[in-house]
Amino acid sequence: MTTSIPWDDTVLPFQLDAADVRGRVVRLDGALDAILGQHNYPPAIEALVAETALLTALIGQSIKLRWKLSLQVRGKGPARLIATDYYGPEEEGGPARIRAYASYDAERLDLAADPFSQIGEGYFAVMLDQGPDMTPYQGFTPIAGASLADCAQTYFAQSEQLPTRFALTFGRSQTPGQPEHWRGGGIMLQHMPQAGMSVEGDNTEGRGGSGEGGLLDHTDILTGAPAENWNRVNILLNTVEEMELVGPSVSPSELLTRLFSEEDPRVFPVTEVHFGCSCSEAKVRQTMSIYSSKDIEKMTTAEGIVTADCQFCGAHYEMDPKTLGFEAEGAKQP
């Protein structure tokens, strides 16, 4: 899809100097349309994927070049898995890439229920791949609150001791003369790390926090002037309207001025976000390299081929079984 609005499919970083708060504004339009257009998800699953994609773009914008950030939501309910990947730009000023997919039990799905309730008991995971020879980072927090945004806020409070707030909205939109398509937008606020800041109720000391299930929240982290600043900018964020987050008439910079004009907002270079997948036949073959010829035979179809489908982008691969596995023809040749 060709973007028709300059701020479509972008993430705009900003800082509120008067409040010691940083943040980002995201718009996912063509990218979100491409993510959901790969599948025929029920509305509840579409909503969960859209929300997770927005969170991924907001969180992922802070990662370095060529790094990959992944979010995974796993639950025991009918929505079993929501998985997203955000690939940092390959060069300075280049676009980032995002992809997402879901696994769910259609027979158990309650179409009338709140989408978040379809996850059930489970966990919210943040994973960071920093490239070869680096140990991947993994952080987890239980599914809690009333939305995936609440889970992400809990993750940052619990794992990073950083008060964080998200305001998100998404849905289908149609402009005159154009087909219906997805639009999503959101804002992320995050208090800057405080040097020497102590965390009251830190669960590492066995006291637990004041949030749901003893998890930490901002009241366990901030006191005094930082707490007052945080509360003030959150009150301002509460005034945002959904159409300001996704509508075509308000740019991200205009929105920041409207919300936070007295907080000395500063903006930084914007990052474009495109739909993109990293799958390839070579990666499929690498995955198959651990299997023996007998294993490969079990994967071979009646037509005499091995097939593989990418869950993220729908790409379909067909391969000769004789060329797969560690016993493949020519595999031991120098």
CATH number at residue 49: 3.55.30.10
Do 251 and 289 lie in one domain? The reply is no
Do 116 and 212 lie in one domain? The reply is yes
Do 148 and 167 lie in one domain? The reply is yes
pLDDT at 199: 39
pTM over 0.85: yes
248 within domain boundaries: yes
Do 226 and 313 lie in one domain? The reply is no
User: Residue ranges of the chain with pLDDT lower than 70?
Assistant: 1-4, 174-177, 195-208, 210-211, 213, 217, 330-334
Considering its fold, how many domains does the chain have in total? 2
Do 173 and 294 lie in one domain? The reply is no
299 within domain boundaries: yes
pLDDT at 206: 41
328 within domain boundaries: no
Give me the domain span that covers residue 156: 10-275
pLDDT at 227: 93
pLDDT at 63: 83
From residue 271, how far is each of 25, 49, 128, 319 by CA, in Å?
11, 21, 19, 37
Do 155 and 237 lie in one domain? The reply is yes
Within the chain, where are the H helices? 30-37, 43-60, 148-155, 224-237, 242-246, 252-260, 281-288, 293-299
